[in-house]
Structure 1
Amino acid sequence: MNDAAPSPAAIQEVVHRGVPLAAAWGIEVLNAAGGGATCRLPWRQELLRPGGTVSGPALMGLADIAMWAALLGVSGGRDESLTTSLTIHFLRRLDPGPVLAEARLLKRGRIIFGEVMIRSEAASEIAAHVTTSWAAVTPRS
């Protein structure tokens, strides 16, 4: 396994190529190294739900991408692991605006465990807490 961390731009390119929805939503990888990653979801009207808050599916997708970015950051940019579970607790509504997801790996092995904290870019309060597990998959050559 390669522990050299590619640049955030290189990881973002892998993410956008691997998950075209991340590119369509404009998800940005701000950093990804040392078992952690921060991703940014720009404000987009189509990601809102009735009541003017950012939708749960958008937050779940952002959390999943942030965890993959953390894995890419510790694997030299090559990771084909698969999400096996994602549990999200919505703690407060997110008003329209950019959203940040801060992921960190808790345990790596055949099963990978992590957590993601989601908040508005304009606030420090956590709006959603995510726990997730992944099945480790070795990239094909």
Structure 2
Amino acid sequence: MTPVMDAAALTVFLEREFPQVHGDFIVERVASMEVSVRLNVAERHLRPGGTVSGPAMFALADVAIYLATLAMIGPKALAVTTNCSIDFMRKPAAGCDLICQARLLKLGRVLAVGDALIFSEGQDRAVARAGLTYSIPPR
């Protein structure tokens, strides 16, 4: 399947529909059923001890699967998360952005199921893994 939205289109959509997160997320790559999204880590994303917080990592995984879904179905702002399970596996590297590699495992008429791996920039081992399901609004 060929994506119907590229990185530029997803970026414009995100900026228009979710201005509150403007600048937090950068769509780096779009392919069939896959995206890579960067979290521009800022002070507001940190927890005590200077590491990226769990909620910030959850947001990255959630946004990445959302964008992977939209890349394939088009700009459906009302697609919503219906399930998420996240494993925090190791502490993110200090001072590094996070990169989420998200892929859709199933894209149906009403549900999209995806897997997200989050890495500290420049590291090979994932810091978190999430499985998410999105409900797709009727066409």
Per the normalisation by structure 2, the TM-score is 0.89
Q: What is the aligned-residue RMSD (CA, Å)? A: 1.7
CA–CA distance in structure 2, aligned partners of residues 35 and 26 of structure 1: 22
Residue 33 of structure 1: CA displacement?
2.6
Residue 55 of structure 1: CA displacement?
0.5
Structure 1 runs not aligned, ≥5 long: none
Retained in 2: the 8 A contact 1:89–1:129?
A: yes
Query: What SS is found at the alignment partner of 1:70?
Result: helix
Residue 3 of structure 1: CA displacement?
4.8
Query: What SS is found at the alignment partner of 2:86?
Result: strand
Alignment of 1:26-37 (within 5 A): 26-37=24-35
Task: Look up the equivalent residue of 2:106 and give its one-letter code.
Answer: K
Match in the other structure for 1:121: 121
Cα gap change, 1:70/1:96 in structure 2, threshold over 3 Å: closer, same or farther? same
Higher alpha-carbon deviation: 49-58 or 79-88: 79-88
Query: What SS is found at the alignment partner of 2:132?
Result: strand
Per the normalisation by structure 1, the TM-score is 0.88
Match in the other structure for 1:137: 137
CA–CA distance in structure 2, aligned partners of residues 136 and 3 of structure 1: 18
- Aligned-residue sequence identity (percent) comes to 31
Cα gap change, 1:4/1:100 in structure 2, threshold over 3 Å: closer, same or farther? closer
CA–CA distance in structure 2, aligned partners of residues 4 and 88 of structure 1: 26
Match in the other structure for 2:16: 17
Retained in 2: the 8 A contact 1:106–1:115?
A: yes
Task: Look up the equivalent residue of 1:16 and give its one-letter code.
Answer: E
Residue 4 of structure 1: CA displacement?
4.4
Cα gap change, 1:37/1:124 in structure 2, threshold over 3 Å: closer, same or farther? same
Residue 22 of structure 1: CA displacement?
2.6
CA–CA distance in structure 2, aligned partners of residues 32 and 22 of structure 1: 20
Alignment of 1:66-105 (within 5 A): 66-75=64-73, 77-79=74-76, 80-94=78-92, 95-105=94-104
